[in-house]
């Protein structure tokens, strides 16, 4: 939330259609603390301070000023980079204080001028990414012992307060004016888009009538009421605020099980080659067919000779350790395709490599993973959670995901999740007739391992297998007896692990037809259908954010009451009141 100047606001297009997007260059996600424009990362032993100090002129695209510590996608990309570096490069950090570099203003949320000028897909994609970053903050607090604490030395409004809600504790200065607020509904005619409505009721357990009052009160709440309503954990006087915050951080750090003597690894710059036809990384490549609207993503398994013999070797390899290197590349690719390639509606996912090597890597990871009540290696633990989060990104990606399981692929264990994440799985039965390499001459195979039964839970808390066979515990139990061996196509069909198997004669035509048919369907209907099918059974705060909240927000984002020329989002800051169609729907 920011109060735009009138002069600036007049530049908003008011032609009755979606605001014309600026001709936005491709979004990139390579950041480094040395290049941050909006954040400072200050590490001091067990405690890090993360300071939001937005550069007004540093908007990702032209057309708006990032006044009032408001953010756009660019600000959030830096935040994401920062959370990753804290996890991998600063393992000794056990508590993170999130604060602001501006006097009396924590953060006024997403920049409204930016929202008003952004086309619908940009807004939706922006909300998705910011939600993922906030979920990541909760993930590191819960699973990695790096506890985030929001120290609000000034007002946190809209997305600013939602950022605080992602932290485990919220401390608010008690200065008679600083408040927390969700002014989206009353001022902008949209919802708080990064989990605010869900987190106040489900996480902070604000009574639902109070949640209603709070979310319609543009000025928000402060002081005792904010504490009594559970909107913040504590208010603290301005004098001694920093000391009190530091004390809370020390307390949180003391509770962490994170090792104190760990030495970080460097997240070195990703190597990639971008061409018209795709993107190539070391372990991942994307091949684009724009005519058909398809991108084929191939993940390459590890080198057979590269299985590290010890945990020391894994640390020595650092960002070159295949599971981490591959995950970073895949993560980057997902983010780039989502932001820059809206017309590629089908993502075909393949793997390529040696099954035994993939399993060997998995065994090393498993051996050093943190299990309940025992401490494993912090780095291995971080890598597992990172791969988990990357798979979750695929779960909520609004593209059709189709796995092709062919000879020479290595969908085994953790890599099998890349098939299970897909809407459909097609598998070749038998071998290629014209196989040129011995690898291709082998039959396509899958391997289930223990890690498919819970190492990489979806947002609904279930493994992808448990989601796939929701309610059929007997079959899940049967599958547990089928781990650690090669499963060929006919059996994969019988076990329900793939949608269809075709032999060499039919493969090309049947797969092509399936993809063409998919391409012909309404992209919106597919988005809605996939969002409904991918998460069955139980729901969590996360699934509610990506399901219910996001869907309502998307609806509101294209309603004239918000996005029309007289809508609240476009009129905000112009001095003119929004004009609403008062019909309730």
Residues 271-310 touching a second copy, rule: CB under 8 A, are: 293
Closest CA to 514 of 415, 411, 403, 418: 403
510 is an interface residue for a second copy by CB under 8 A: no
Residues 14-33: x/- map of binding to a second copy (CB under 8 A)?
Answer: --------------------
The DSSP result for 8-53, as a single string, is HHTTS--SSSSPPPP-PPPP-----GGG-SSEEEEEETTEEEEEE-
585 is an interface residue for a second copy by CB under 8 A: yes
- C-alpha pair distances (Å), 510 with each of 34, 193, 352, 425, 513: 50, 40, 21, 13, 5
Choose, by CB under 8 A, the member of 262, 270, 342, 360 that binds a second copy: 342
Q: Which residues of 241-276 are buried (b: 16+ CB within 10 A; e: fewer)?
A: beebbbebbeebbeebebeeeeebbebeebebeeee
Choose, by CB under 8 A, the member of 238, 480, 486, 548 that binds a second copy: 548
Least CB distance to a second copy at residue 501 (A): 13
Least CB distance to a second copy at residue 29 (A): 19
Beta strands in 400-529 (DSSP E): 400-405, 411-412, 424-429, 446-447, 486-487, 500-503
Nearer residue to a second copy within complex by CB, 187 or 412: 187
513 is an interface residue for a second copy by CB under 8 A: no
Binding residues for a second copy restricted to 450-479, rule: CB under 8 A: 467-472
Stretch that binds a second copy, among 71-79, 85-93, 110-118, 342-350 (CB under 8 A): 342-350
CA 33-37-39 angle, to 5 degrees, is 60
549 is an interface residue for a second copy by CB under 8 A: yes
252 is an interface residue for a second copy by CB under 8 A: no
385 is an interface residue for a second copy by CB under 8 A: no
Least CB distance to a second copy at residue 496 (A): 6
131 is an interface residue for a second copy by CB under 8 A: no
| Residue 453 per-residue DSSP state | G
Nearer residue to a second copy within complex by CB, 228 or 254: 228
Binding residues for a second copy restricted to 187-226, rule: CB under 8 A: 188-191, 197-198, 201-202, 205, 207-213, 215-216
Nearer residue to a second copy within complex by CB, 344 or 358: 344
Choose, by CB under 8 A, the member of 33, 101, 223, 523 that binds a second copy: 523
Distance (Å, whole) CA 317 – CA 310: 11
Choose, by CB under 8 A, the member of 424, 457, 491, 565 that binds a second copy: 424
Closest CA to 66 of 112, 106, 119: 112
Structural contact between residues 351 and 301, judged by C-beta atoms closer than 8 angstroms: yes
Q: Rg of the Cα trace of the chain?
A: 24
Choose, by CB under 8 A, the member of 12, 68, 97, 185 that binds a second copy: 185
> How many other C-beta atoms are found inside a 10 Å radius of the C-beta of residue 142?
12
Least CB distance to a second copy at residue 455 (A): 20
261 is an interface residue for a second copy by CB under 8 A: no
Distance (Å, whole) CA 282 – CA 268: 13
Choose, by CB under 8 A, the member of 124, 236, 253, 455 that binds a second copy: 124
Choose, by CB under 8 A, the member of 529, 565, 566, 574 that binds a second copy: 529
Determine whether 119 is exposed, middle or buried from the number of CB atoms within 10 Å of its CB (0-12, 13-18, 19+): middle
Determine whether 449 is exposed, middle or buried from the number of CB atoms within 10 Å of its CB (0-12, 13-18, 19+): buried
Measured in degrees and rounded to the nearest 5, phi and psi for residue 474 equal -60, -45
Count interface residues toward a second copy (CB under 8 A). 88
118 is an interface residue for a second copy by CB under 8 A: no
Stretch that binds a second copy, among 168-176, 356-364, 387-395, 517-525 (CB under 8 A): 517-525
Measured N-to-C along each axis, helices 120-143 and 378-395 cross at an angle, to the nearest 10 degrees, of 150
Binding residues for a second copy restricted to 561-580, rule: CB under 8 A: 561-562, 567-568, 578, 580
Token digits of residue 37: 């424009």
Choose, by CB under 8 A, the member of 144, 327, 351, 398 that binds a second copy: 398
């Amino acid at each position: 939330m920011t109060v735009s100047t009138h002069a600036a606001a007049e530049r908003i297009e008011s032609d009755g259609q979606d605001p014309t997007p600026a001709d936005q260059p491709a979004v990139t996600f390579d950041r480094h603390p040395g290049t941050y424009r909006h954040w400072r990362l200050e590490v001091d032993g067990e405690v890090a301070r993360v300071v939001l100090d937005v550069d007004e002129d540093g908007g990702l695209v032209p057309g708006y000023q990032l006044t009032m510590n408001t953010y756009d996608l660019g600000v959030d990309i830096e935040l994401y980079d920062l959370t990753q570096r804290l996890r991998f490069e600063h393992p000794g950090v056990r508590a993170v204080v999130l604060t602001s570099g501006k006097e009396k203003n924590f953060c006024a949320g997403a920049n409204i001028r930016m929202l008003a000028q952004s086309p619908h897909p940009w807004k939706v994609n922006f909300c998705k990414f910011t939600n993922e970053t906030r979920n990541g903050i909760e993930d590191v607090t819960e699973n990695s012992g790096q506890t985030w604490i929001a120290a609000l030395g000034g007002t946190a409004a809209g997305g600013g307060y939602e950022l605080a809600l992602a932290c485990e504790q919220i401390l608010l200065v008690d200065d008679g004016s600083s408040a927390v607020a969700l002014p989206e509904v009353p001022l902008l005619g949209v919802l708080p888009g990064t989990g605010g409505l869900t987190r106040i009721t489900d996480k902070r357990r604000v009574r639902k009538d109070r949640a209603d009052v709070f979310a319609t009160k543009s000025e928000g709440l402060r002081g005792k009421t904010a504490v009594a309503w559970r909107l913040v954990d504590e208010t603290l006087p301005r004098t001694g605020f920093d000391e009190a915050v530091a004390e809370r951080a020390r307390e949180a750090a003391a509770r962490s099980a994170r090792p104190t003597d760990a030495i970080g690894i460097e997240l070195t710059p990703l190597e990639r080659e971008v061409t018209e036809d795709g993107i190539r990384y070391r372990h991942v490549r994307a091949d684009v067919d724009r005519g058909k609207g398809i991108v084929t993503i191939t993940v390459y398994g590890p080198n057979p000779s590269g299985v590290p013999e010890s945990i020391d070797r894994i640390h020595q390899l650092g960002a070159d350790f295949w599971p981490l290197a591959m995950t970073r590349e895949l993560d980057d690719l997902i983010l780039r395709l989502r932001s820059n390639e809206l017309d590629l509606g089908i993502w075909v996912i393949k793997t390529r490599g040696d099954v035994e090597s993939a399993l060997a890597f998995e065994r090393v990871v498993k051996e050093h993973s943190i299990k309940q009540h025992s401490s494993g290696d912090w780095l291995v633990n971080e890598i597992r959670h990172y791969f988990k989060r990357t798979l979750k990104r695929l779960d909520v990606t609004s593209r059709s995901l189709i796995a092709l399981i062919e000879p020479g692929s290595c969908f085994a264990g953790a890599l099998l999740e890349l098939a299970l994440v897909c809407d459909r799985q097609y598998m070749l039965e038998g071998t290629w007739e014209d196989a040129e390499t011995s690898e291709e001459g082998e039959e396509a195979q899958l391997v289930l391992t223990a890690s498919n039964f819970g190492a990489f839970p979806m947002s609904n808390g279930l493994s992808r297998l448990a989601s796939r066979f929701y309610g059929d515990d007997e079959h899940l139990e049967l599958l547990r007896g089928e781990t650690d061996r090669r499963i060929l196509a006919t059996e994969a069909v019988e076990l329900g692990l793939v949608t269809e198997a075709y032999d060499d004669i039919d493969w090309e035509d049947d797969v092509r037809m399936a993809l063409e048919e998919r391409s012909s369907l309404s992209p919106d209907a597919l988005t809605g259908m996939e969002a409904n099918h991918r998460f069955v059974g139980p729901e969590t705060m996360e699934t509610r954010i990506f399901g219910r909240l996001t869907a309502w927000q998307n609806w509101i984002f294209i309603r004239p009451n918000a996005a029309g020329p007289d809508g609240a989002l476009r009129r905000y800051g112009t001095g003119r009141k929004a004009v609403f169609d008062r019909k309730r729907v």
